[in-house]
Amino acid sequence: MNLDPLLERVDRGLRLLERIVAAVEVLAARPAEAANDADPELWDVHQVAAYLKCSPSKVKQHAASGKIPTVPGVGRQLRFDPAAVKRRAHGEPPDSSKVVHLDRNRG
* Tens digit of each residue's pLDDT (9 = 90 or more) over 27-36: 777 655 444 4
Tally of domains within the chain? 2
Domain boundaries, position 9 = 4-37
Do 53 and 29 reside in the same domain of the chain? no
Do 102 and 59 reside in the same domain of the chain? yes
Over residues 36-95, the pLDDT tens digits come to 444 458 899 999 999 999 999 999 998 888 888 888 766 678 888 888 888 888 875 444
Do 65 and 89 reside in the same domain of the chain? yes
What 4-10 contacts at long range (C-beta under 8 Å, 24+ apart), as own/partner pairs, is none
The answer for residues whose C-beta is within 8 angstroms of residue 46's C-beta and 6 or more apart is: 56
Do 54 and 97 reside in the same domain of the chain? yes
Do 18 and 66 reside in the same domain of the chain? no
* CATH classification of the domain holding 87: 1.10.10
